[in-house]
């Protein structure tokens, strides 16, 4: 969704994800925002209508945000969030904290607080993110639209009604970039093992992943069909895939890995 003007915005936590989202809002024509973050790197987020303050106490009196984005680590929530209950009457809270349920966040901000829980991923830094969001009971249609516009500045957004889905979403799209980066690392290492010089191995692995992603983006075909198109019967790729797809290799370990991440996401909300 294209935005012409963003509302008064408060970002709590200007780290990797918060900083990436802020970059997207800037590109969309952010007029003004306040970032609360005590870290030294966060100071560089200041400028162009963005004020960075180290703590809640430093937020200028009278500032009335329409949206408060909660982007601190989940383990900080209990300590950090209660002060922000002050904005619960007027603002929609957008929490991107992994594993923190709407109920848990509501317990810190007030049970009537309007809360959207969202799970973005790091390609948000280049506006290619994917976010899945769920709206709490007190979120108005207008607040949901506002949250959608803010999240869309980081890439594609999908909404679900069942909050329980956020745990597998965290495992698949939240952590997903890490699995693709691991694949890139493994390809690079395997190339080196085959005697390919290190610089060429790095270039090959990176560009193969970038090229495959671009092909996926440009094509209407399923990933499976694109895979089959590379796989000649009895050829070299078929040999490699037979190893990777053997019972105890990729398919099984990947499913087990996603289950482990989903279980961890559930545990974080306990
Ligand atoms: N990274 C991902 O792939 C990803 C994906 C989806 C969701 N998330 C969620 O996004 C949230 C942030 O993750 P991240 O990777 O961006 O972490 P991060 O880089 O550590 O960012 C968190 C920031 O919050 C700051 N902070 C600490 N105490 C604060 C306070 N009292 N008030 C305001 N800011 C404070 C931290 O400063 P210090 O460094 O000084 O502590 C840091 O700059 C997490 O809840 C995570 O679950 C992350």
Distance 18 CA to ligand 1 centre (A): 7
Parts of the chain with a pLDDT under 70 = 1-5, 270
Give residue 28's pLDDT. 82
pLDDT digits (tens, 9 = 90+) for 77-112: 999 999 999 999 899 999 999 989 999 999 999 989
pLDDT of residue 1: 44
Evaluate whether 105 touches 117 at the Cβ level (below 8 Å). Answer: yes
Predicted pLDDT at 71: 97
- Percentage of residues in the chain with pLDDT exceeding 70? 97
Listed by start position, the domains of the chain span 9-163, 176-268
pTM for the whole structure: 0.92
Ligand 1 atom index nearest CA of 80: 31
* Alpha carbon of 99 to ligand 1 centroid (Å): 14
Spacing, Cα 112 to ligand 1 middle (Å): 25
List, for residues 12-30, the tens digit of each pLDDT value: 999 999 998 998 888 888 8
Q: Would you state the torsion angle of the CA atoms of residues 191, 197, 200, 201, taken in this order, to the nearest 10 degrees? A: 20
Domain 9-163 classification at class level = alpha beta
CATH 3.90.930.60 fits 176-268, yes or no: no
Report the pLDDT value the prediction gives residue 3, as an integer from 0 to 100.
44
């Amino acid at each position: 969704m294209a935005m012409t003007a963003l509302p008064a915005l408060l970002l709590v936590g200007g780290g990797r994800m918060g900083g990436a989202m802020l970059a997207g809002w800037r590109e969309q024509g952010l007029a003004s925002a306040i970032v609360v973050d005590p870290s030294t790197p966060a100071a560089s987020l200041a400028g162009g209508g963005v004020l960075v303050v180290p703590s809640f106490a430093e937020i200028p009196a009278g500032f009335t945000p329409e949206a408060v984005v909660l982007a601190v680590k989940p383990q900080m929530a209990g300590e950090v969030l209660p002060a922000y209950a002050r904005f619960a009457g007027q603002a929609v809270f957008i929490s991107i904290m992994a594993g923190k349920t709407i109920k848990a966040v509501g317990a810190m901000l007030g049970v009537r607080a309007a809360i959207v829980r969202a799970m973005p991923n790091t390609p948000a830094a280049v506006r290619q993110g994917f976010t899945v969001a769920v709206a709490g009971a007190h979120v108005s249609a207008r607040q949901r639209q506002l949250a959608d516009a803010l999240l869309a500045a980081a890439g594609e957004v999908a909404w679900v009604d069942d909050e329980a889905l956020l745990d597998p979403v965290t495992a698949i799209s939240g952590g997903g970039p890490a699995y693709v980066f691991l694949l890139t690392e493994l390809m690079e290492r395997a190339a080196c093992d085959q005697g390919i010089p290190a610089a060429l191995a790095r270039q090959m692995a990176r560009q193969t992943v970038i090229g495959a992603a671009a092909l996926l983006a440009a094509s209407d075909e399923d990933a499976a069909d694109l895979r089959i198109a590379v796989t000649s019967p009895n050829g070299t790729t078929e040999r490699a895939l037979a190893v990777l797809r053997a019972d105890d290799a990729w398919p099984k370990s990947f499913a087990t890995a996603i289950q482990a991440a989903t279980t961890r996401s559930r545990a974080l909300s306990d």
